[in-house]
Homo-oligomer: A and B are copies of this chain.
Amino acid sequence: MTTRRDLVQASRALSHTGILDAFGHVSARDGDMVVLPPAVPPGRAERDDLLEMDVEGRIVRGDGRPHDEHALHRRIYAAREDVGAVVHHHAPAVLPFVTAGEDIRPVSRLGAPFEDPIPVFDDFDDADGHLVTSDAEADRLAATLGDGLAVVLAGNGAVVVGETVREATVFTWYMAANAETQYRASHLGDPDPVGDEDSLAATAATLTNAIAVDRVWSYLTGG
């Protein structure tokens, strides 16, 4: 139950920050099922609107229309047992990197939890542009994600994962904040990763533990 409440709160909170807009979506794993909102602006979905989908992509509960990219969510859950929530977003701070083909790197503290650089997926099916709609396409995306926290979708946006909805939401905020800093810093000089590998790992640990996640979740949701 908490998961469903968190999923609605996460969608609203990320909409309030502008990281989600008319598009983008948050999902959560619930046992063998995927819980996801219907094809509406993420900030508008109510708890009663949430759908449940099985691993094959069949709706087993709820009567709205799912969005077109549910394969993206389903196949990441299939590939990653540790993942409990997935955010697909087009954060304004991230899109310039997505568009210019420039790597996103951990140039600020908040970027420390991510791979350097965040991997880029660019092996789309031809039929529907840069949407990820087929299982095979989504499997290739999951392979690019590997065991990391995020992947950039060339010409589309990005995907962030976490063990819980709260983690995926907080890590999404970290990704957008780091990208904004990298964007601005790249005008002043040539920003490097903030510390060596050990230092980045130490910083990442301080940002991904339960206390930090609760703190940022509270900040984002007003909770």
Let me know if A99 and B95 touch, CB within 8 A: no
Let me know if A100 and B215 touch, CB within 8 A: no
Q: Contacting chain B: which of A46-54, A70-78, A104-112, A140-148?
A: A104-112
Closest Cβ neighbor of A182 among chain B residues = B99
Residues of B within 8 A of A185 (CB): 95-97, 99-100
Interface size class of A (residues with CB under 8 A): 35 or more
Q: Closest CB-CB distance, A183 to chain B, in whole Å?
A: 7
Let me know if A186 and B188 touch, CB within 8 A: yes
Would you list 27 pairs from A and B whose C-beta atoms are within 8 A, ordered by A residue?
A: A22-B173, A22-B216, A22-B219, A22-B220, A40-B215, A40-B218, A41-B216, A41-B219, A44-B218, A44-B219, A92-B180, A95-B181, A96-B181, A96-B185, A99-B108, A100-B185, A100-B186, A100-B189, A101-B189, A102-B188, A109-B129, A112-B129, A127-B202, A129-B203, A129-B206, A130-B194, A155-B194
In the assembled complex, the Cα of A223 lies from the Cα of B198 at a distance in Å of 46
CB within 8 Å of B: which A82-135 residues: 90, 92, 95-102, 107-109, 112, 124, 126-131
Residues of B within 8 A of A100 (CB): 185-186, 188-191
Asked if A43 is at the interface of the complex by the 8 Å CB criterion, the answer is yes
CB within 8 Å of B: which A1-44 residues: 21-23, 39-41, 43-44
What residues make up the interface of A, taking CB atoms closer than 8 Å to B?
A: 21-23, 39-41, 43-44, 65, 68, 90, 92, 95-102, 107-109, 112, 124, 126-131, 155-156, 173, 177, 180-191, 194-195, 198-200, 202-203, 206, 211, 215-216, 218-220
Residues of B within 8 A of A184 (CB): 92, 95-96, 183
Copies of this chain, tallied across the complex: 4
- Determine which of B99, B128, B218 lies in contact with A41 in the assembled complex, contact meaning CB atoms within 8 Å: B218
Q: Closest CB-CB distance, A88 to chain B, in whole Å?
A: 12
Residues of B within 8 A of A102 (CB): 188-189
Residues of B within 8 A of A97 (CB): 185, 188
Residues of B within 8 A of A96 (CB): 181, 184-185, 187-188
